[in-house]
Structure 1
Amino acid sequence: MRALCRFVLLSVLRGISRMHDAAPLSPHLLQEGKDYLKRSVSSWLPSLRPQTEQLAAQQEEESEQSGVPPYESRITTAKLLIEAEEPEMVMEVCEGLLEEDDEVVQVWYLLGWVCYLQRDKPEEAESFRDSARTYLTRAKKLYVKLCCDDPPMLEHVEQLLSELRPEGASAADDDEDDEDGPPIDDIADDFIHSSDEEENAMEH
């Protein structure tokens, strides 16, 4: 929790420095904040835990939550991981959240946002754009269904959808993206697989 708070503080300070055109925080401080965040997340995110610890955690799962933060805290963590430019970790956190409750607008919004940020990735641009449209459309539908009250988030969702919409398409076409888009199962695996392919390409 201390690590998370430290990164939040650094993120806020960076935002304030931008707003007031002040001298930006040093790269060292920002990197330190990212390291603290990743260290904190590694204590409960499955892919970052040693295999022996994962087995032990599975055995204890019925009696306790193995240090996994509350749902809302993990949503906050996903937002911070987007800021820290850790898309694979964002996807894994969100995948875990969806397994617990797949009708939380913010989770679908964050999934769409992180895919949007990856939309220009070489050789995967179309896949990320399609995924972003699917998840953002799902977020918009749930927003209406659940009568949410977060105008800034809805405005951002609509802005991203308008940028992702193919030329000549209308907002009504977004519904088709939701129905025909990629499945939500193993969302994080897509990112991990992509990262492995990039590493192999670099080796050759």
Structure 2
Amino acid sequence: MVLRREIGVLEGTGSTPQVSQALEEKKTKLANALCGVVEVYMTDLSWEEDAEARCETLVTEALLVASNTPEPLQTLASVRISQLRMEDARAALSRSIELWKDLDTEDVKVPDFPTRISLSRLLMEAEMEDDALEVLERLVGEDDSSVEAWYLGGWCLYLMSEKRRSSGDSAEERKALMPLMRASREWLQNSLKLYQVLEYEDGRLKEHAEELVQGLTKVLGPPTDGDEADEDKGDWEDDEEGSEDEEMEDT
């Protein structure tokens, strides 16, 4: 590979700030290229007998080449998720996020928008919903016209509400549940509005978003102008809690 040769040449050159910067850039490009090949083996070439072994070799090289960049760690997490090694996947994802989460968006070390969209999906697969939502809120802050970011945020909030719903029946848990569900529906409805405006073409996304909204509306009832005020207020009257609990029991 050309990048390998160029890296070899730079490593044999005297150490200067310019050389160090060029070397870092080449290594990052090589690591990202290797990660791209891993994704191919995990999708289009997954049927090949040695696909898993090739993925391991490639992602290991990517980590050796650029251990302090987020993409190789993100790719490692994807491989570990496919192997059902969830603890290892969570560790890799946490390390990946730590490398850039406190940097300004303009910093070159922050992964690009599509890479962070993929990251949010991996975080949700790894049941790291809080981290996924943090990533998605930042993405929406950068570009509020992303159908996928709004959809994933709504889905993430839905998963968080389902976890809360199944964890117990205390009044405190019910109090936290309803705002999550309302926020989920709001994010999903935003994604569906943008879907129409932008003539987005992912039919499966639209179908899933609509399905989630319908399920949420069965519990919450039709959206009202007061929903956002209720979320901001964060407290509930006893009779409201009672009626909401009855609605949930009926579903």
Answer whether TM exceeds 0.5 for this pair.
yes
1:132 equivalent in alignment to 2:184: yes
Number of the residue aligned with 1:11: 81
1:37 Cα offset (Å):
1.3
**TM-score in terms of structure 2 length:** 0.54
Q: Structure 2 regions of 5+ residues with no counterpart?
A: 1-70, 165-172, 230-251
The one-letter amino acid of 2:213's match is L
Inter-partner Cα distance in structure 2 for 1:77 and 1:8? 9
Secondary structure (helix, strand or coil) at the match of 1:69 reads coil
Once the two structures are superposed, what CA deviation does each residue of 1:140-187 show, in whole Å capped at 9, x if it has no partner? 110011000001111110110111013595xxx45x57x9537xxxxx
1:40 equivalent in alignment to 2:96: yes
User: How many residue pairs are counted as aligned between the two chains?
Assistant: 149
Once the two structures are superposed, what CA deviation does each residue of 1:53-105 show, in whole Å capped at 9, x if it has no partner? xxxx56xx7xx615100000011101111111122211211121112110100
Task: Tell me, yes or no, if the aligned pair for 2:157 and 2:183 is still in contact at 8 Å.
Answer: yes
Number of the residue aligned with 2:118: 76
Number of the residue aligned with 2:194: 142
Task: Tell me, yes or no, if the aligned pair for 2:140 and 2:149 is still in contact at 8 Å.
Answer: yes
Q: In the superposition, relative to structure 1, how do residues 167 and 68 fare at CA in structure 2: closer, same or farther (>3 Å)?
A: closer
**TM-score in terms of structure 1 length:** 0.66
Inter-partner Cα distance in structure 1 for 2:218 and 2:203? 25
Residues 120-129 or 155-164, more deviating: 120-129
Secondary structure (helix, strand or coil) at the match of 2:218 reads coil
1:159 equivalent in alignment to 2:229: no
Secondary structure (helix, strand or coil) at the match of 1:165 reads helix
Relative contact order higher in (CA < 8 Å, ≥ 6 apart)? 1
Q: Structure 1 regions of 5+ residues with no counterpart?
A: 14-24, 47-56, 183-204
Inter-partner Cα distance in structure 2 for 1:181 and 1:7? 36
Identity value in percent: 30
Number of the residue aligned with 1:30: 86
Inter-partner Cα distance in structure 2 for 1:133 and 1:41? 27
Q: In the superposition, relative to structure 1, how do residues 167 and 32 fare at CA in structure 2: closer, same or farther (>3 Å)?
A: closer
1:10 Cα offset (Å):
2.5
Q: Within 5 Å, which residues of 2 pair with 1:47-58?
A: 57=103
Task: Tell me, yes or no, if the aligned pair for 1:44 and 1:66 is still in contact at 8 Å.
Answer: no
Cα RMSD of the aligned pairs, angstroms, is 2.3
Inter-partner Cα distance in structure 1 for 2:156 and 2:203? 20
Task: Tell me, yes or no, if the aligned pair for 1:10 and 1:30 is still in contact at 8 Å.
Answer: yes
Inter-partner Cα distance in structure 2 for 1:35 and 1:126? 31
Larger Rg computed on CA atoms: 2
Task: Tell me, yes or no, if the aligned pair for 2:80 and 2:88 is still in contact at 8 Å.
Answer: no
Inter-partner Cα distance in structure 2 for 1:180 and 1:148? 27
